[in-house]
Amino acid sequence: MSDKLSAVEKIKTASDGLRGTLNQSLEDNYTGNLRPDDQVLVKFHGMYVQDDRDRRAERAEKKLDKLYSFMIRLRIPGGAITAEQWTALHEISEQYGTGTLKITTRQTVQLHGLLKHQLRPTIQAFNTAKLDSIAACGDVNRNVIVSSHPQLSPLHEQVYVYADKISQLLLPKTQAYYEVFIDGEKIYERSVEADPLYQDRYLPRKFKIGIAIPPSNDVDVYTNDIGLIAIIENNELKGFNIVAGGGMATTHGNPNTYSRLGSVLGFTDNEEDTLKAVYEILTIQRDFGNREDRKFSRLKYTIDKLTVEGFKQELENRIGFTLQHARPYTFTERSDRYGWLQGHDGKWYYTLFVEHGVIKPHQKTFLAELALLGISNFIFTANQNLMLGEINPEDKDAVAALLSKHQIETATSGLRKNSMACVALPTCPLALAEAQRYLPELVTKLEPLLERHNLLDDDIVIRMTGCPNGCGRPYVAEIGFIGTAPGQYNLMVGGDRFGERLNKLYKEKLDEAQILYEADLLFERFAAERNIGETFGDYTHRTYFAN
C-alpha cells in the first residue's frame, strides 16, 4: 500500500469490514476510551469518542485520564419517526448518557455522554425500536435529508421516499455493526458483505446528500456533496435537477481550502436514472478523491480537479446516458414555519422552535406525554427544529392543550428563530470556541440593537460554529461566526437569505465587545440605506463585496 495514503486510509483497508479490534476495545475495562484505530472505525457505526474538555485541566492535575464518553448519532433518512419510536428515544436517553437530546442540522438526533459499557445496550435498545446509527458518521454516505414541510407540497411524501431509497442504496454491506454491537457473534457469511460500492476503501471522506422541494431550501441543498432539487410542474413530480460538489469546511490559515456551493449538472426524469446518477457520483469520488490529505478529500476538490465539465463527462460515461438540461426552479424561503399549519390533506402540523437543537427539559416532558397519546409523528428539520406531523383535526385540541400545559411557545425574534449553532465545546475535540452554549447569549445581546433600528422582526439568518469545519453551515448565513480561539470569532456577512450565495469575511478575530460594536454599525447602516424589500444579506453583499 502506498506510503502516501493517510493513516485513516490504512486503518480502513486493514479493518476487516470495519470490525478492527472493536470487540476487544469494548471489553477493555481499564480505560473509558477505545484503541486508536478503533476510534476511527467506530465512527462508521455512528459513534464518536469524546471527552469533557471543561474538566481536562482538573483531571490532569489529579493525574487522571480524560473523562471519556461517546456520542451516538442516529440514521433517520428524511428525519421522521413514529410516536412509538419517540417514546423509545426518550426512555433510552433517560437511561443512558446525559439525558439531553440534540437535534442536528441533518435531520437526526444525537445522544451525548454515554460511557463505553453503555454502547452495546444503547444500540440494542435502538435496534428494538427499529432505529440504528449505521453510517451516521465516517467516510460513507451519511444521513440523507429532505425538505421537512409536508404541508407545503402534496408531493412531499413522493419525494420523501427518495431519502430512504438513497440511504438504503448507499449503506455499507458489512454486517460489523450487528456483529459487534447487537449479536456479539458472526452470523453472516462474508460473501454477503461483498461491497461493489465501498469495496474495502470506503470513500475518501464524509459524503452528504440533501433533497430540496422548492420553494423551500431548508436543507441548504447547495452545501451537500449531492443535492437533488425536485422539479414540480402542474402538481406533478417531473424529476430532479442534480447538484454536486457542495461543502462547507475550510482550515484556518490554509488558503487552498474553501467553501463551495454545488454545481448544477443536469436533470433526470425518472427514479432509475436518478438513483443511478447518485450511485455513480459516489463511485467517481471513490476512485478520484484525494486519499493522501484529508483536508482536500471532499467531492468539491475532486470536481474542481476534474473541472465541472470533466466531472459531468465522467458521470455520463458511467451512467450510460446524457443528463438532460436542468429545469427552472425558484427558492423563496429557507426557514421553518413555526406554529400551526394545515396540510393539503387536512391534517395539522406544529413546528416547535428548539434553540440550536437542544431540547429543553420542559420540551422533553411535553414530547414524552404527546408520544404516549400516539396522535402525531415527529419530524426533525434541517434547521434543528421539531415538527409534530400528521395530526388529525379531531386530535388538534389535545395537542394544543399539552402545548399550553407545558408553556411551549414559538414567539421570539426573527434573529433567534433563524439561528443555528454546532455543538462545539465542551465535547467536540475540534472546537476552538463556544457555539451552542454561547450563541443564545449573544443573540440576547444583539436583539436590543436590532430593536433600536426597528429590525427585530427581520428574519436574518445567523449561524455560529466553534471551528471552520462548518457543521452548522455558517458560510451560507447572512451573518456567520467562525470560532478562531476561545471567545474570538471571524465575522462573515453577505450570504443571501435562501442559501444560494456564500458569505465573505468581513472582520477577523473579534471578541464579544467588538462583535456588538460592528453589528450595531451594520444594523444602523442597513436600516438607513436598504432598498425596499432588500434583505440584510443582500444589502451587505451589495455594499461591501459586489464590486
Residues that are catalytic? 73, 142, 206, 208, 422, 428, 467, 471
Q: How far is CA 212 from the centre of its chain?
A: 14
The half-sphere exposure of 174 on its side-chain side, counting CA atoms within 13 A, is 24
DSSP three-state, residue 73: strand
- Nearest-angstrom CA–CA distance, 300 and 61: 44
In contact, 273 and 164? CB cutoff 8 Å: no
In contact, 373 and 405? CB cutoff 8 Å: no
Q: Is the peptide bond before 474 cis (omega within 30 degrees of 0)?
A: no
Count of beta carbons in the 10 Å neighbourhood of residue 226: 27
In angstroms, what CA-CA distances link 331 with 98, 328, 496?
A: 39, 11, 11
DSSP letter for 336, please. -
The torsion angles phi and psi of 246, rounded to 5 degrees, stand at -80, 155
Which residues, at least 6 apart from 397, have a Cβ–Cβ distance to it below 8 Å?
none
Residue 444: all three cell numbers together: 440576547
- Nearest-angstrom CA–CA distance, 479 and 488: 15
Given the DSSP bridges, would you call strands 236-244 and 226-233 parallel, antiparallel or unpaired? Answer: antiparallel
Given the DSSP bridges, would you call strands 419-421 and 462-465 parallel, antiparallel or unpaired? Answer: parallel
- Nearest-angstrom CA–CA distance, 403 and 409: 8
Count of beta carbons in the 10 Å neighbourhood of residue 458: 20
Taking the alpha carbons at both ends of the chain, their separation in whole angstroms is 49
Given the DSSP bridges, would you call strands 462-465 and 479-485 parallel, antiparallel or unpaired? Answer: parallel
